Amino acid sequence: MTSVFCLRSALVLGLLGGLAACTGSLFDSEAPVTRTYVLSPAPTPASVGAVAAVDVVVSEPTSSPGLHSERIAVLHPDRHLEYYAGARWGGTAAEVMQSLIVGSMRNQHLFRSVTAASSGNAATHVVDIELRDFQAEYAGGRDAPIVKVTIVANVLRLTDRKLIAVIPATASVPANENRLTQVVAAFEAAAQQVALSVSRDTAAALADDRGSAR
């Protein structure tokens, strides 16, 4: 039995707890143990430049239909959406991305401070996030999925709510194998790429904005 059959059977039948061997029964009396996955932010680079005198807060993203969930989303070629059974994120997809973006931006040392909007910290600018893609996609005859993460970031100055920039960022990363651990690794890689793109573009936009250093 191939690994792709095992994983897709897990999606349909809820048997992901037995993914490696694709074992189990629809009539098992005990539900599979749910595994919780987290993603790490992009690390600090070997060298950093000047720190801008701005304090940034990152909003909790709004999310596309089907993504406001702790479940790990899967999109099929016919556009129907389902979720890996027996697995979930440590929060909703929006919460996971907010945490990863905050941590990644903070690790780049481009800004005086970076916090989540819910922290209540004072800030000079806000990055409003819309999460458009955060799913594994099976397409093109591949056994393993390609993970797609897409966000649109609106950067605003808080003193006058001026829109400084609209920053789209997207990344697609193929999973090395059709195994959940590899799919999660692809999620992490794609999310980090998006977070780094937003961090760099936000820094550039604020540097160009005459009112950014307040």
Residue pLDDT, tens place only, 7-60? 444 443 343 333 333 333 333 445 567 899 999 999 999 887 788 899 999 999
Rounded CA-CA distance 132/51 in Å is 30
Strand partners, 111: 52
DSSP state for residue 158 in the 8-state scheme: T
Least confident of 70-74, 110-114, 170-174, 205-209: 205-209
Q: How many residues does the chain have?
A: 214
Query: Per-residue pLDDT averaged across 118-122, rounded?
Result: 75
pLDDT, position 49? 76
Confidence of residue 210 (pLDDT cuts 50, 70, 90): low
Phi, psi of 192 (to 5 degrees): -65, -40
Rounded CA-CA distance 111/114 in Å is 7
- Three-class DSSP category at 76: coil
DSSP state for residue 118 in the 8-state scheme: G
Residue 35 buriedness (CB in 10 A; 0-12 / 13-18 / 19+): middle
Q: Which of 12, 186, 157, 148 is nearest to 86 (CA)?
A: 12
Rounded CA-CA distance 153/173 in Å is 20
pLDDT of 184 higher than 80: yes
Domain ranges of the chain: 31-208
Residue pLDDT, tens place only, 163-178? 999 999 999 999 999 9
pLDDT, position 94? 96
Contacts for 173 with CB less than 8 Å, ≥ 6 apart:
146, 147, 186, 187, 189, 190, 193
User: In 45-144, where do the E strands start and end?
Assistant: 52-58, 62-63, 71-75, 81-89, 111-116, 125-137
CATH class of 31-208: alpha beta
Please indicate whether residue 83 or residue 29 has the higher confidence score (pLDDT). Answer: 83
pLDDT of 195 higher than 90: yes
Structure tokens at 199: 């961090």
